[in-house]
């Protein structure tokens, strides 16, 4: 199945096409209106792209990509909101995405790929470790809302 899939960066003017997948990823906890507003703000900040995986014309997976520069690592890609539609899971789509993202990171002269994965996401942790990611620290948050 994975041989028929197309991976490409989603053009900015088509970026809202990821919102149904992001809505599903967040299990409906964030309204489509909020997601649309946040996407608009993210695009305005610059440095954000999104990889789309298509089965024919249907978007079946996505991964947000932030191009960042930080003291501790230098230039890197931070992966964000990685999601594969349920019908396509465990069929090699994630591996295709990681291969594409690794090559893209190298082409952008990045030192690494980074991401956050929730502690309770045991399947996710196993997936990321299988693809060469190692835990570095804790992602910590203080809500101000």
pLDDT in tens, 78-118: 999 999 999 999 999 999 999 999 999 999 999 999 999 88
What dihedral angle (degrees, nearest 10) is formed by the CA atoms of 119, 122, 127, 129?
A: 60
Burial 10-49 (b: 16+ CB within 10 A, else e): beeeebbebbebbbebeeeeeeeeebeeebeebbeeeebb
Render 4-68 in DSSP notation, one character per residue: GEEEEEPPGGGGGGGHHHHHHHTTTSS-HHHHHHHHHHHHHHSSEEEEEEEETTEEEEEEEEEEE
pLDDT in tens, 42-81: 999 999 999 999 999 999 999 999 999 999 999 999 999 9
Who contacts 112 (Cβ-Cβ below 8 Å, separation ≥6)?
A: 73, 76, 77, 105
């Amino acid at each position: 199945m994975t041989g028929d899939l197309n991976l490409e960066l989603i053009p900015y003017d088509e970026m809202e096409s990821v919102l149904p997948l992001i809505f599903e990823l967040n299990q409906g906890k964030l309204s489509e209106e909020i997601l649309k507003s946040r996407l608009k703000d993210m695009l305005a900040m610059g440095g954000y792209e999104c990889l789309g995986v298509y089965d024919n014309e249907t978007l079946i997976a996505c991964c947000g990509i932030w191009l960042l520069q930080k003291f501790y690592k230098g230039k890197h890609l931070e992966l964000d909101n990685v999601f594969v539609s349920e019908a396509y899971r465990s069929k090699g789509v994630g591996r295709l995405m990681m291969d594409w993202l690794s090559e893209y990171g190298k082409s952008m002269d990045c030192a690494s790929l980074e991401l956050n994965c929730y502690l309770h996401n045991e399947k996710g942790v196993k997936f990321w470790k299988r693809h060469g990611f190692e835990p570095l620290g804790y992602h910590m948050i203080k809500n101000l809302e």
